[in-house]
Structure 1
């Protein structure tokens, strides 16, 4: 089985990306000035606290990243995490608490809620897809159809929802698509030659720079005829793009009859209504951009403590 492309835990690259987003969000709100309403109405010595609470059921994503978010405000704030990422959220049960200077809390409120609401929304939608294929042989994967700048963070939320991350970028996996085949035809010839060219580099051969070349070779096909052509060349994964259910099942049967270890991935028109039927065909993998580009933010709010925190 090909290894997954990314780790399941937060990493330092994710921290860099997240904190860059927080800095951008702060700049959008303040533009090197101040929160005039808060400064006008709230005494600068006032201290208090708030709990971040879900208004609806969902899946937690982003709570474990809260210290990185709060750190970027360079403010008098301390965070305590109550729900771990990946856990199911109950309405009004706090995800985290933040205490400190009330002016800083009010200034940070919208940025914190925007980030966590987005991530929890992705994790919640992903969990619905994962539940729909429970008990099948299929695993759910995300895609590169992410919000620019948010990729590693949104893919982290997908993993919190129980799915698996596909390659995180063009740099960490070969995926030979129809455009590659069309434009490289003169150089590589038939489909199997394109697979062989990629495998030569993946296996640390070939003639191009390969020090950090990925090890997984995947190729996209859009017909059973193409599938039959490429199967003997032995890529790690064959992506069956926009196949009808009957064609997916036939591809699985052909692969199994050939005794091939190649994993089959279904992609295209994957929705919460179709995913169970796709999984029933016996494919190993199902990838869906909907996990990130169609997710709705989960409704979260700040519930303030009744008394000042000293």
Structure 2
């Protein structure tokens, strides 16, 4: 199976994370100081805390914890007690931080904000993935992500058992109705099949400039449009807001005419509808709800005395 690359805890993710942390530092400190902490806490006071979930869920974001601490230039030792993708148990610590108490207090909110968001996305993804685990359908995210958080949220989707769709406009062709309309002329939009052929041809002629694997995916909104596109041999056809009956018919047509093309269902995908969609036989189901409907997982700092002599 050819697929879009999975987002990993690599240099690209680290770069995005560090930029977000720098923004967080600017929001909290504005080239000044954490005056409450400076006022009340001695400069050489040592302390310790554990990051503890208040409820069940899926762990995501621990891979970023050391990067956050580094960006704060904090004198802290980081110990991860669990791994990203593992199950969270209420009250069971996932990481421990020890060191300068002022640094702990100053970076507390940024750490909790980032980890709570990522654990929330991972937990939401797992809920969806579990519903279709017994089918052949795979669960995908979308580009409906929080601005600046694209790779972090997609990494969290992977932690929750989902698959990553394209990370951006740079790593795949996805021909949508707006492309067809704007590529047309006064007589109307170009046909989806024409656009698909052009993209496939363009990919072949420019392969050295593309991020591999660069797939061609075409969005269709009717069975008529689907029949027109299937013969062009794209990698994926996205079936936008198809009814269950139309999805089943599209799968039957594909199986008869071009079994190599994968079908992706999108639109009106919720926790209540995803099982019926998966049972139609599509290989892929994409849902923006994995990110834009995810709620934060409640995490807290549980403090303990780490005074050093």
TM-score range for the pair, normalised by the shorter chain length: over 0.9
- Counterpart position of 2:202: 201
For the pair 1:63 / 2:69, whether they are aligned, the reply is: no
Counterpart contact for 2:251–2:281, Cα < 8 Å:
yes
Partners in 2 of 1:210 and 1:303 — Cα distance?
Answer: 52
Q: How well do the aligned residues superpose, as a CA RMSD in angstroms?
A: 1.6
- Counterpart position of 2:192: 191
Give TM-score, length-normalised by structure 1: 0.95
- Counterpart position of 2:219: 220
Counterpart contact for 2:41–2:101, Cα < 8 Å:
yes
Find the residue that maps to 2:231 and give its secondary structure: helix
Partners in 1 of 2:10 and 2:144 — Cα distance?
Answer: 21
For the pair 1:27 / 2:26, whether they are aligned, the reply is: yes
Find the residue that maps to 1:181 and give its secondary structure: helix
Q: Could you list the structure 1 runs, at least 4 aligned residues long, displaced by more than 2 angstroms after superposition.
A: 6-9, 185-191, 212-215, 306-310
Q: How big is each residue's C-alpha offset from its partner over 1:91-122, in whole Å with a ceiling of 9 and x where there is no partner? A: 11111111110011000100000000000000
1:1-310 → structure 2 map (5 Å cutoff): 1-3=1-3, 5-186=4-185, 189-203=190-204, 205=205, 211-212=209-210, 215-309=214-308
Partners in 2 of 1:89 and 1:213 — Cα distance?
Answer: 35
Q: How big is each residue's C-alpha offset from its partner over 1:233-255, in whole Å with a ceiling of 9 and x where there is no partner? A: 11000000001111111100111
Find the residue that maps to 1:286 and give its secondary structure: strand
Gaps of 5+ in 1: none
Find the residue that maps to 2:108 and give its secondary structure: helix
Q: How big is each residue's C-alpha offset from its partner over 1:44-84, in whole Å with a ceiling of 9 and x where there is no partner? A: 11101000000000100001211111110102111010110
Counterpart contact for 1:188–1:194, Cα < 8 Å:
no
Aligned length in residues: 306
Q: 1:180 to 1:210 in 2, by over 3 A?
A: farther
Counterpart contact for 2:230–2:258, Cα < 8 Å:
no
Counterpart contact for 2:98–2:306, Cα < 8 Å:
no
Cα drift, residue 20 of structure 1: 0.4
Give TM-score, length-normalised by structure 2: 0.95
